[in-house]
Structure 1
Amino acid sequence: MKSLTLKFASVFLSLSLANVAMAKTDLIIGFDPTYTPFEYKNADGSYAGFDYALGNALCKKMNLNCVWKEVDFDSSIAALRARKIDAILSAMSITDERSKQVDFTVPVYDVPTALVVKSSSNLELSSLPPGTSVGVTQGTTQESYALKVLQPKGVKVVSYESQDHVYQDLSNGRLDSTLTNAATASEGFLKLPQGKEYKISEPTISDIHYFGKGVGIAFRKGDAEHTQLFNAAIIDMKSKGEIAELSKKYFSFTVD
């Protein structure tokens, strides 16, 4: 079955590429470059990150001219539906709630969620005491989990516009912890000077009910042309190990 799926994807991609010259070749991809290592800005203002590199690789494979546009993660679906952007590639998990508003590609990769705390702390996600403050990014699955599961237990959930702002308050002692993607915690905070006194509280979690079925690329409802084209390209890259190889440049572990 797997070989048939890969064969179909290859055929579909070939047929689609044969016709791409007759279609619109500009694609505006919305992303929030405050989520290291998935998407971020270098000191010179240029974009970088795994999602950024992955998106460019997919667009090159499909001969699409992709233009990147900054949007706040929390407003990205609204921007997509308002046609301000054509796609979202910003570490967005595929959830049932989001799938009511947008169409997702097949899962591109999956990374668990982690609680980040002081290295000297014994805080664990399963037993956070009432009054413990947890920082989350607005519009994320982590925020949804925290509000639905942790807040009713007396945990103080504090929402921010970006994960960078969460890390600032965490390192300044205004927060006890943050609930975030394990990769951005490991690569975008713990390895930096401000994160040296922090750790990931094990175990991490990957509950599909709250955190979805992996990360996908979102398109407007009914945009079957782009969704199917990207599906074929994603499956093709996975079958060749290209996504796993690319992830090694940004993570201390492979994702696929």
Structure 2
Amino acid sequence: MNLKNLFKKGLIITMIGTLAIGMVACGSDKNKIKTLDKDEIVLGFDDTFVPMGFKGNDGNYTGFDIELSEAVGKKLNKKITFQPIDWTMKESELKNGNIDLIWNGYSVTEDRKKEVDFSKSYLKNRQVIITLANSNISSKEDLKGKKVAAQDQSSAIDAIGDYKDNFKELVTFSTNDEALRDLEAGRSDAVVADEILSRYYINLKGETKYKVLSDDFGDEEYAVGIRKGDKEFLDAFNKAYEEVVADGTASEISKKWFGEDIIQK
């Protein structure tokens, strides 16, 4: 190969390399989404999570978190669009820009703090143990050798932790509703789930059918997941939430769904 051809080949390789670097740089910039610049904010949620966010009988999305998000959206002067997602993929959906918020009874955990930035907490919660009313299970200790159900990739799984080694089996479902139906059918002995969801579900189905144990798998707090590093939007979001609390809107929404004001101030 002569010198002229070598020079041409080298030039082509250099151009390809420069183009590739430019494409990577553009991709990196594209991933740096500034949510505050958007007119429409996409909220990702599990649309079976009663009473936080779910599809009502009229086909529209409703629930405590849905109404609270709309109130915060007004303060931000942003339209909130609701996007049902696979709950096991929630952090990936946020990172990839498919959604802008994870807001659906999203419990704060140390592992999740590595993946998302959390807003101010707005509700306190517990991971409770639910059984059928006629069950002989009366404590966490009684779960040894039993089949326990929970939602896959939920904070209930995190809360149970290594205690699952005491169970006969920990079976997971894509939704809490499926886990509770498994309990109703007698295939599982107990369910570990968010207290807020569980109390609402039991109230609908009949309180005489279930019992919630005094033992639990720990206290938690609900907050909103925001893209990691988007501090400008995080600060604006927290300010808007504080305004919704201060003007009494959050309290009214809480009373509508829970019969009392359980908002964290």
Partner residue, 2:204:
192
Q: For the residues of structure 2 that align with 1:49 and 1:125, how far apart are their CA atoms?
A: 31
Q: How do 1:1-256 residues align onto structure 2 when only pairs under 5 Å count?
A: 23-146=37-160, 148-187=161-200, 189-193=201-205, 196-207=208-219, 211=220, 214-256=221-263
SS in structure 1 at match of 2:148:
strand
Q: For the residues of structure 2 that align with 1:31 and 1:202, how far apart are their CA atoms?
A: 29
Q: Label 1:129 to 1:92 Cα distance change in 2 as closer, same or farther (>3 A).
A: closer
Q: Label 1:129 to 1:95 Cα distance change in 2 as closer, same or farther (>3 A).
A: closer
SS in structure 2 at match of 1:244:
helix
Q: Label 1:205 to 1:31 Cα distance change in 2 as closer, same or farther (>3 A).
A: same
Compute the displacement of 1:149 (Å): 3.6
Compute the displacement of 1:166 (Å): 0.8
Q: For the residues of structure 2 that align with 1:125 and 1:135, how far apart are their CA atoms?
A: 16
5+ residue gaps, structure 1, are 1-21
Matching residue's letter, 1:181: D
- Contact kept in structure 1, 2:159 and 2:218, CA below 8 Å: no
SS in structure 2 at match of 1:166:
helix
- Contact kept in structure 2, 1:30 and 1:85, CA below 8 Å: yes
- Contact kept in structure 1, 2:71 and 2:244, CA below 8 Å: no
Q: Label 1:122 to 1:236 Cα distance change in 2 as closer, same or farther (>3 A).
A: farther
Q: For the residues of structure 2 that align with 1:92 and 1:58, how far apart are their CA atoms?
A: 17
- Contact kept in structure 1, 2:75 and 2:243, CA below 8 Å: no
Structure 1 vs Structure 2 CA RMSD: 1.9
Compute the displacement of 1:175 (Å): 1.0
Matching residue's letter, 2:222: V
Q: For the residues of structure 1 that align with 2:146 and 2:162, how far apart are their CA atoms?
A: 13
Q: For the residues of structure 1 that align with 2:162 and 2:243, how far apart are their CA atoms?
A: 38
Deviation by residue 1:107-159 (Cα, 9 ceiling, x = unmatched): 1211222111111224234312432111111111101222x242122342111
SS in structure 2 at match of 1:103:
strand
Q: Label 1:99 to 1:136 Cα distance change in 2 as closer, same or farther (>3 A).
A: same
Q: For the residues of structure 2 that align with 1:94 and 1:149, how far apart are their CA atoms?
A: 19
Q: Label 1:172 to 1:132 Cα distance change in 2 as closer, same or farther (>3 A).
A: same
5+ residue gaps, structure 2, are 1-35
What's the TM-score once normalised by structure 1's chain length? 0.82
Partner residue, 1:15:
none
Q: For the residues of structure 2 that align with 1:93 and 1:133, how far apart are their CA atoms?
A: 24
- Contact kept in structure 2, 1:243 and 1:255, CA below 8 Å: no
